[in-house]
Amino acid sequence: MPRPTGNPKLRAARLAAGYRSQQDLIDALSARGIVVGRRQVGRWESASPPLPYPDVRRALADLLGQPLEQLGFDVTSGGERDRRPGSGPLPPVNRAPVRTPNAPQPASAAADYLAVTRAHRRLYWTVAPSTLHPAVAAHAALGEQLLEATAGRTRQTLAAALSESWLLAGRVEFFDLREPSRAGSTWVRALQAAGEADDPLLGSAVLAHMAFIPGWTGRREAAAERMTAARTYARRGPASPEFLAWLDAVEAECETRSGSTRTALNLITHGEAILAGGGEHSNPEWMDWFSPVRLAAFKGNTQLAAGHVPQARTTLLGVLEELPADADKQRTVVLGDLGAVEAAAKQPEAAAAYAVRALEMLERHWYATGLERVRDVRRALVPWQHEEYVRNLDDRLYGWGAVVSALAN
């Protein structure tokens, strides 16, 4: 496929920031007292974008959450092309240290880079996030530099692998380290690389992950906008049944956290029907975080939030039985949800036992999302906090090992 034309970095950042059209961005700039026309924004999204005026640069960087050099602009030009007549000298440009450019890379560079990306993908399930994240981020930084030295199909392959690396780095930041703001910036870079690769499914995956950020704090409208964009990209796929069901699961979790459990359960039912119906398209190689059993885990959590306690218990016990051996991160979440089920059923001792099992697993495989579930259980156990089994849970939850792990990761 030909390399996409124009300035995909700016378009991706605009979309990620919630501005679906150029007019949306124009309106946002106008609200800040900056007047630009459709033609000017079109020039910014062209293959050779002129550097905006200084006041516009600051507004663009603020609205899109990215520095100008990551929005496809050549900041080393100093903006002379768009300088206003009589405006006086522009402030000096902070130039990056001079570095020797990479020589043009052979076709093998993309395959070599992709091999490391695949290795990181597998290591995610077993390596501590504080250990893995620096390696993934450094690999992504390498990919951005190599991208400048490639062309054609080699560039496209490398860009797709780069997008996956940034996506993985963001997953570690959001799910393992609970740094949503940092993950948001990382996922913008993943979306930009997906645009360079002209890979709509990768773009859809990144956008769906970005929906988690507002979704987990109950900002339903912002999450829905990102899910609409994700589904739009998925239609350009072709998307596998697993991919489409995962989109349903993501949206269901966002709906659950905003209190719309009926909508969430309908989405999960739709996802189950898609999986049961099958399809002609295979799952993307890089999508190793979803399966029917993981859809059931989403379902159990939503049933719990909806107050369907017996159904949630049955669903989650089935998930616990079916999870693969390398799914300890997901297992900590399920154990936490089962603890919450038992707390809701007024079985506090069983709830504490599930929470302790999750903590024992977290000592081996740290996962901030799993710890959040354990803390939810502990909050539900406040009426029984003077019981010995709750004190034993507290000893484990606030032990030296748990505190050190939380700070280290």
In the chain, the amino acid numbered 268 is: I
Rounded (to 5) percent helix, strand, coil in the chain? 70, 0, 30
> Cα separation of 8 and 74, whole Å?
14
DSSP 36: -
Rounded to an integer, what distance in angstroms lies between the CA atom of residue 351 and that of residue 344?
9
pLDDT in tens, the chain (409 residues): 444 568 888 888 888 777 878 888 888 887 777 888 888 888 888 888 888 888 888 888 888 878 888 888 888 755 444 444 333 333 333 333 434 557 788 889 999 999 999 999 999 999 999 999 999 999 999 999 999 888 888 999 999 999 999 999 999 999 999 999 999 999 999 999 999 999 999 999 999 999 999 999 999 999 999 999 999 999 998 899 999 999 999 999 999 999 999 999 999 999 999 999 988 888 899 999 999 999 999 999 999 999 999 999 999 999 999 999 989 999 999 999 999 999 999 999 999 999 999 999 998 888 999 999 999 999 999 999 999 999 999 999 987 555 445 544 4
pLDDT for residue 401 = 57
Structure confidence at residue 405 (pLDDT): 52
Residue 18: its pLDDT value, please? 75
Is 191 found in the same domain as 115? Answer: yes
Residue at 88 is within a domain: no
Based on the domain organization, do 112 and 68 belong to the same domain? no
Q: Give φ, ψ of 92 to 5 degrees.
A: -60, 145
Close Cβ partners of 381 (under 8 Å, ≥ 6 residues apart): 343, 348, 351, 352, 390, 393
CB 195 within 8 A of CB 162: no
Establish if 284 belongs to a structural domain: no
Judge whether 248 and 270 are in contact, CB under 8 Å.
Answer: yes
Where does a domain end: 166, 182, 198? Answer: 198
Q: Which pLDDT does position 342 carry in this prediction?
A: 98
pLDDT given for residue 289 in this prediction: 95
Q: Is 170 exposed, middle or buried (0-12, 13-18, 19+ CB in 10 A)?
A: buried
Sign of CA dihedral 267, 268, 272, 274: positive
Residue 179 included in any domain: yes
Q: What are phi and psi of 268, to 5 degrees?
A: -65, -40
pLDDT digits (tens, 9 = 90+) for 267-302: 999 999 999 998 888 889 999 999 999 999 999 999
Q: Which of 198, 226, 257 is the last residue of a domain?
A: 198
Name the residue range of residue 61's domain.
8-72
Task: State the total domains in the chain.
Answer: 3
- Per-residue tokens: 255: 């709906």
Residue 174: DSSP 8-state: I
Tell me if 403 is assigned to some domain: yes
Whether residue 125 lies inside any domain: the answer is: yes
pLDDT at 21: 83
Residue with tokens 């239609």: 235
How many angstroms separate the most distant Cα atoms in the chain? 77
* b (16+ CB within 10 A) / e for 341-356: bbbeeeebebbbbbbb
Note whether 124 and 193 are same-domain residues. Answer: yes
Predicted TM-score (pTM) of the model is 0.78
Asked if residue 305 belongs to a domain, the reply is: no
Is 137 a domain residue? yes
Q: Report in angstroms the alpha-carbon separations of 89 from 74, 80, 295.
A: 18, 10, 59
Q: What is the distance between the alpha carbons of residues 294 and 398, in angstroms, rounded to a whole number?
A: 29
Is the residue at 222 inside a domain?
Answer: no
Which amino acid is it at 18? G
Q: Are residues 58 and 124 in the same domain?
A: no
Nearest residue to 153 via CA among 103, 106, 189: 106
Q: What confidence score (pLDDT) does residue 148 get?
A: 85
Of 150, 176, 198, the position where a domain reaches its end is: 198
CA distance linking residue 402 with residue 409, whole number of Å: 11
